[in-house]
A = this chain, B = another copy of it.
């Protein structure tokens, strides 16, 4: 919607009114009752930049934390065209039939440019979207990767409080967003195309090292032997990496999303993986570690926001960047000036 359009202002006013009326305690009650509308509203509240909304959102998240943490958090990545949404649709149906409740969200670094979102732009997940047991949330658009990451972590907490026991976080295989997804999930699934050799080019170095499982998609319609060759290639590549702290040995399998038998493979991986890491205590340790790391990241993110929003400090920041570019001051000295400015902010 165009911001010059009078309709935009009417919409924005209604949205603000709705968000203003949201109170943490009531939202918590409804979320625990698995109210999908309340959950969607709560996520919109989290995504709001208004300080009064943010305050209520923080309260809600802290109320939800005791009810969270019981899901399988699964990251899913792969280059565009690898068949991520087809896979999620197919396995989602099976998961729901087995009695699970599934939440699907996305981290899309391109959405801030396009203004759209992975899950929102295209009419996808047509079978899953109407299901009561499934909650699909497109990426918040117009945010930095840091902002999206923060909202996604908090959305996971809300979804878990709403009783979703499997969370998929999808992203496209272009680099930085994978690292972000990896830092917030328990199990990292990489989808790859067969056509061994070449496909190593499409995926950024380091991403394969993060994978707990690799599925070679579209292993059907005469593509089966290429998929098997790719399987061997990836298995060999995985051997080169250090053993995982979880003790889990990464798995590789060819898969056809139109073949239900194949879809049992990743489900088996997840059952084995979670049994193993819950038993060993690794899951708890990993999540604690992720939370502490997120604390650091959140702090840096909020500090950057503070700098950007304070006119005096952000002007000085830009001036310091200029001075560094012109070789008039050292980076260290400039950083020290910025720090002192922040520490004495409002005191002059």
A300 and B325 CA atoms in complex are apart in Å by: 19
CB-CB contacts below 8 Å: A218-250 with B? 240-241
Interface centre among A291, A292, A302, A331 (most CB of B within 10 A): A331
Contact A329 B65 (CB under 8 A): yes
Known: A299-B339, A342-B342, A343-B342. A333 touches B58 (CB 8 A): yes
State the oligomeric state as a number of copies. 2
In-complex Cβ contact of A150 among B154, B157, B291, B332 (8 A)? B332
**Chain A 323-348 near chain B by CB (<8 Å), digits 1 or 0:** 01101111111111011001101110
Contact B58 A302 (CB under 8 A): no
Closest Cβ of chain B to A209, distance in Å, is: 6
Contact A65 B327 (CB under 8 A): yes
In-complex Cβ contact of A324 among B292, B330, B335, B342 (8 A)? B292
Closest Cβ of chain B to A322, distance in Å, is: 10
Q: Is A295 an interface residue, CB under 8 A from the partner? A: yes
In-complex Cβ contact of A61 among B200, B301, B330, B345 (8 A)? B330
Contact A333 B62 (CB under 8 A): yes
Interface centre among A205, A299, A325 (most CB of B within 10 A): A299
CB-CB contacts below 8 Å: A271-318 with B? 288, 291-292, 294-303, 306
**Chain A 191-214 near chain B by CB (<8 Å), digits 1 or 0:** 000000000110001100100000
Q: Kindly list chain B residues whose C-beta atoms are within 8 Å of the C-beta of A150.
A: 332
Tell me whether chain A's interface is mostly helix, strand or loop, or mixed. helix
Closest Cβ of chain B to A269, distance in Å, is: 23
In-complex Cβ contact of A205 among B205, B291, B336, B338 (8 A)? B205
A302 and B329 CA atoms in complex are apart in Å by: 17
Known: A302-B335, A347-B347. A327 touches B69 (CB 8 A): yes
Beyond contacts A288-B325, A303-B303, A342-B343: 15 other A-B pairs, Cβ-Cβ < 8 A, are A58-B332, A69-B327, A154-B330, A205-B205, A205-B206, A206-B206, A292-B324, A292-B325, A298-B331, A298-B336, A299-B335, A299-B338, A302-B336, A306-B339, A342-B342
